[in-house]
Structure 1
Amino acid sequence: MKTDATPPRGTRDLLPDEVAARDHVSSTVADIYHRFGYQRIETPCVEDLERLTGGQGGENAKLIFAIMKRGLTDPLAGETALKDIADLGLRFDLTVPLTRYYAHNHANLPMPFRAFQLGPVWRAERPQQGRYRQFHQCDIDIIGMPGVLAEIELIEATSQALHAVGLSGTTVRLSDRRILSALAHHARLPEQSWDGFFISLDKLDKIGWDGVGRELVDKRGLAPEAVAQALETVQGLHAVEADKSIDALGTALPELPDSVLNDLASTTGALGDIGGLSWVFDPTLARGMGYYTGQVFEVEHPDSPGSLAGGGRYDRLVGRSLGKDVPACGFSLGFERIVNLLGTRRREAVAVLLDAEVSESRALHLMRALRAEGRTAASVPRSGKFAAQLARLEAWGYTSFMHLRADDTTPSSRPEERPLGSPPQT
């Protein structure tokens, strides 16, 4: 029998005050998203492995946990292929399952369909500080709305949700995959290399311009002169002020369709009308997933090493399940990073300390009265040194206490409620 009680590598147990913080974030975000018309749905944690490995998950598709088929013999033959031992896998995000969900249920869903999801996902990450193999994602998506109103609504709803949970000082970064495609075409990069180009460019904040250039040439085998031209163009656009980005794009990429520039102008104009929202145009933003087809966006915070939210338009992903393309756009909150930024949260809770001789009826009478007032109350047997027990109660998340004494025999008497951290009663 295994005696080590630590959780598996890359996973963690959550203590009550940590769960309280997560509950605060999830309930607050859900309230904001419901006001914007998003409907909560749930999808299975398990999907067909073929769907998960369909080439649209970017780098994350390499981190899938495959589930072995039942009835396999032990040991397996040395040349056994993955498809022969696994046909299911744990979802690595909530978007790929959503498209399968929509294809299966679209006849019974409104159009456009605004979906809200909150649940665990799994990635076979290398265990390290701040990166877990099981974590939560929180997504909103609009399916069936082709115009940039969808992008604007997603950004506004997410910005309000972040503000509501207590995070200020965030900035929205905005770009468009079609701009990056035009940039790659302008630099004469082979079209089959574009996805790799996007993935490498998306690592800019981690490896810098020189690192991106080396990866494109050394790892992806692209021509140095084409890489140099592409990076020179994107660096020039990166330095342009936000209000001049439309004109700069038209000059740097003359083959860029007017529709892309008009979409960007509409989105940036609307974002400028949202009070308290800070945004920047960032042509280096690519997003790692391979399914994006239009505008992409992220939310950053000065105290977070990575983005707090990210998403974009993915008009062709639904068609992989439905057989016809449907416009779609989504935004995913970095639930774990948000919770980590906010820290633990203590809820108001009363500990009712009970002397050994106190009857059950007296204890229940008091706790029922507290709960009828909407309070959280729990009984705790009196034990040990009083000050030490109060310290334990405070560490366990209680905010106040009442001491129900055996020598007070009045059934309806209510002890004084005292905040934890105050001097002990004599």
Structure 2
Amino acid sequence: MPSVTPPRGMRDFLPADKARRERVLAVIRERYRAHGFDEIETPVLEEYARLHSGIGGDNEKLAFNVLKRGLDADAIRAAADDPAALTDLGLRYDLTVPLARFYASHRGELPTVFRAIQIAPVWRAERPQKGRYRQFMQCDIDIIGDGTGRAEAELLVASLDTLDALGLTGGTIRVNDRRALEWMLASFGFTEQERPGVLITIDKLDKIGPTGVADELRERGATPSAVDAFAAFLQRPQTLEHHPYGERQIRKALPQGAPDDVVASLVALGDAVAAARTDAEVPLQFDPFLVRGMGYYTGTIFELAHPSVSYSLGGGGRYDGMIGRFLGQDVPAVGFSIGFERIVDLVAGREEAASTAIVLVHDRDVPVAELVALKAALVADGRRVRLEQRTKNLKALLERAAADGYTAFAAVSAGATVGGLDIRPLS
């Protein structure tokens, strides 16, 4: 017999889990909209050529592709070594590529500066493991058409506000700039051709440490003098005094001679976020080794952190060159994605915002017309109502109702009225 379990890396959600996810999504949507973003929707499928155009980084290798319709065995054998000849569509692996295509298609109908919300599932052919799924929800906000630091500031403030609204106060955002990274690698002597591989290794700094990074760079055959200069920089003596986010801290974290314009834009971002927050300190941290794996980033990059966990809860960056691939002219764009699957497990359960959710436990002989009339009257009063026929094990019935989010119950006999119900709490 066929298996009844979901495909590997995909999940079913029971009613209580689904309700919790929807409550978290409702908070995220409400906060994003409060900051002036508008929600859009795009198809789950995109053209194969678009998904594999080189703008999706390593995610392109994880795309689920859809076999062309009508191919016979001979055509499949003839194209066995050419995926592009076998497929013409694929499931989206992120929401950024569809957004770029959406904007290119509807640019004339959108405002000059467009603030987009996208909340939808994406699919990647990952190797399933704890916390890594083949289908998962992404919650993105993006600003297209604004090349100034205002766009980054709006994104960061909206994201921090959303985290606060979910009860996860104390979040911080690590910030870097791909221009600073490129300058730093050039200053050490890495060639332009080897820098993408060097960035892959630098991204492992937290896991393998400075010595591990230097060893791996040598194994990769990177320019020896550049590796030596970089290793010396990583091992340089540093004071333990605390520097808040600002020009002094940023320049101290970079080699001498960092580009003034890049430093100035990073400092201005901190000033803007500080002006919008009431925290004692700016909730930003400059990290010169933050990489973010997507090759389409062109400027500021960021990752969301929270003291309760060691992993990031989201991130994003500026990708000014992506939309130009569809339009033939560059359009500034920057985005931020909250890691919904990670956040939803951290958010404490909340009661329904609506009035009491009631289970009407009725006797077998109560006429159907009376039951639906009682239910309709309570629903019209703003209640959530479920009808359940009394069972021998009433305790198990009520425990299940409580697990599904119901907060009260009432016993219903024939002839019962709304005013005569004895509504009792489930807890």
TM over 0.5: yes
The structural deviation recorded for 1:150 is 0.6
| Matched residue, 2:66 | 67
Letter in 2 for 1:398: Y
Deviates more, 1:7-16 or 1:69-78: 69-78
Letter in 2 for 1:98: L
Letter in 2 for 1:416: D
| Matched residue, 1:372 | 380
1:260 is aligned, of 254, 259, 262, to 262
Instruction: Report if the CA contact (8 A) 1:237-1:245 is conserved.
Output: no
Counterpart mapping for 1:2-401 below 5 A = 2=2, 4-74=3-73, 76-77=76-77, 79-218=80-219, 220-233=220-233, 241=243, 242-243=245-246, 244-248=248-252, 252-254=255-257, 256-273=258-275, 274-276=277-279, 278-342=283-347, 344-345=349-350, 347=352, 349-401=357-409
Instruction: Report if the CA contact (8 A) 1:18-1:345 is conserved.
Output: no
Give secondary structure in 1 for the equivalent of 2:77. Answer: coil
Instruction: Report if the CA contact (8 A) 1:311-1:331 is conserved.
Output: yes
Instruction: Quickly say closer, same or farther: Cα 1:325–1:414, change in 2 above 3 A.
Output: same
Distance 1:173 1:236 in 2: 22
Distance 1:217 1:124 in 2: 31
Distance 1:128 1:214 in 2: 28
1:418 is aligned, of 417, 421, 424, to 424
The structural deviation recorded for 1:72 is 2.2
After superposition, what is the alpha-carbon deviation per residue over 1:46-94, rounded to whole angstroms, capped at 9, x for unaligned?
Answer: 1122222222222222211111111223474275311111122111111
Instruction: Report if the CA contact (8 A) 2:179-2:298 is conserved.
Output: yes
Instruction: Report if the CA contact (8 A) 1:201-1:212 is conserved.
Output: yes
The structural deviation recorded for 1:249 is 5.9
Give secondary structure in 2 for the equivalent of 1:191. Answer: coil
Letter in 1 for 2:323: V
Instruction: Report if the CA contact (8 A) 1:353-1:381 is conserved.
Output: yes
Instruction: Quickly say closer, same or farther: Cα 1:230–1:365, change in 2 above 3 A.
Output: same
Give secondary structure in 2 for the equivalent of 1:393. Answer: helix
The structural deviation recorded for 1:238 is 9.0
Instruction: Give the TM-score taking structure 2 as reference length.
Output: 0.91
Instruction: Report if the CA contact (8 A) 2:250-2:286 is conserved.
Output: no
The structural deviation recorded for 1:237 is 11
The structural deviation recorded for 1:108 is 0.9
Instruction: Report if the CA contact (8 A) 2:140-2:335 is conserved.
Output: yes
Instruction: Report if the CA contact (8 A) 1:63-1:124 is conserved.
Output: yes
After superposition, what is the alpha-carbon deviation per residue over 1:119-141, rounded to whole angstroms, capped at 9, x for unaligned?
Answer: 01111110111110000101111
Distance 1:124 1:21 in 2: 26
Distance 2:396 2:20 in 1: 26
Instruction: Quickly say closer, same or farther: Cα 1:265–1:306, change in 2 above 3 A.
Output: same
The structural deviation recorded for 1:216 is 2.9
Structure 1 alignment gaps of length 5 or more? 422-426
Distance 1:155 1:63 in 2: 29
Distance 1:416 1:25 in 2: 32
Give secondary structure in 2 for the equivalent of 1:132. Answer: coil
Deviates more, 1:267-276 or 1:343-352: 343-352
Distance 2:182 2:146 in 1: 23
The structural deviation recorded for 1:201 is 1.9
After superposition, what is the alpha-carbon deviation per residue over 1:9-54, rounded to whole angstroms, capped at 9, x for unaligned?
Answer: 0101011111112111111111111121111111111112222222
Instruction: Report if the CA contact (8 A) 1:402-1:415 is conserved.
Output: yes
Distance 1:278 1:315 in 2: 25
Instruction: Report if the CA contact (8 A) 1:349-1:399 is conserved.
Output: yes
| Matched residue, 1:424 | none
Instruction: Quickly say closer, same or farther: Cα 1:236–1:72, change in 2 above 3 A.
Output: farther
Distance 1:260 1:410 in 2: 72
Letter in 1 for 2:209: G
Deviates more, 1:179-188 or 1:19-28: 19-28
Distance 1:246 1:223 in 2: 26
2:410 is aligned, of 388, 402, 406, to 402
Structure 2 alignment gaps of length 5 or more? none
Instruction: Quickly say closer, same or farther: Cα 1:16–1:257, change in 2 above 3 A.
Output: same
Letter in 1 for 2:425: P
Give secondary structure in 2 for the equivalent of 1:383. Answer: coil
- How many aligned residue pairs are there? 415
The structural deviation recorded for 1:319 is 0.6
Distance 1:72 1:232 in 2: 58
Instruction: Report if the CA contact (8 A) 1:401-1:419 is conserved.
Output: yes
Identical residues among aligned pairs (%): 44
Give secondary structure in 2 for the equivalent of 1:342. Answer: coil
Distance 1:419 1:402 in 2: 9
Distance 1:238 1:171 in 2: 23
The structural deviation recorded for 1:412 is 5.1
Distance 1:237 1:59 in 2: 36
Deviates more, 1:189-198 or 1:306-315: 189-198
Instruction: Kindly report structure 1 stretches of 4+ aligned residues shifted beyond 6 Å.
Output: 237-240
Instruction: Give the TM-score taking structure 1 as reference length.
Output: 0.91
